[in-house]
């Protein structure tokens, strides 16, 4: 999951710095693929590790948090772009995403060490 997030963020950086159409297009393709991978991993992990009696509530909070963070991120990007320009705003978003992914990588080593979804089912 963290690897997908770092690839996601790196593709944002490539997109922000690219002035070549096909490189920008490839960066957006990688961006979408990495995002799909990380979303699918998160959406698989949450119900597996949540106790049966809490699954609905946890799923609702997870959904709310995910959707709200997307909207907050869009607001942040638009506000930043209005002050410093689109390209720097995209670049800063990529740097922040890499930084936060690296921080979470070290703060939550149990997530980092999961190699297979079946490991979660045993816990």
Instruction: Enter the DSSP assignment of 19.
Output: -
Cα–Cα distance, 39 to 32 (Å, whole number): 10
Residue with structure tokens 């709200």?
A: 68
pTM value?
A: 0.79
Tell me what the mean pLDDT of segment 17-22 comes to.
95
Cα–Cα distance, 87 to 81 (Å, whole number): 8
Cα–Cα distance, 12 to 19 (Å, whole number): 13
Q: In the structure encoding, which two tokens stand for residue 3, read together? A: 């690897």
Q: What is the pLDDT of residues 24-76, one digit of tens each?
A: 999 999 999 999 998 888 888 888 888 889 988 998 998 898 888 889 988 98
């Amino acid at each position: 999951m963290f690897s997908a997030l770092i690839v996601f963020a790196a593709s944002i950086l490539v997109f922000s710095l690219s002035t070549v159409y096909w490189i920008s297009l490839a960066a957006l393709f990688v961006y979408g693929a990495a995002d799909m991978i990380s979303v699918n991993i998160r959406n698989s992990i949450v119900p597996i590790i949540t106790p049966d009696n809490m699954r609905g509530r946890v799923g609702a909070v997870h959904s709310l948090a995910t959707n709200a963070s997307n909207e907050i991120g869009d607001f942040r990007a638009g506000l930043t772009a209005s002050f410093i320009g689109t390209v720097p705003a995209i670049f800063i978003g990529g740097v922040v995403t890499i930084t936060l992914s690296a921080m979470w990588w070290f703060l939550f080593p149990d997530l980092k060490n999961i190699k297979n979804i079946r490991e979660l089912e045993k816990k």
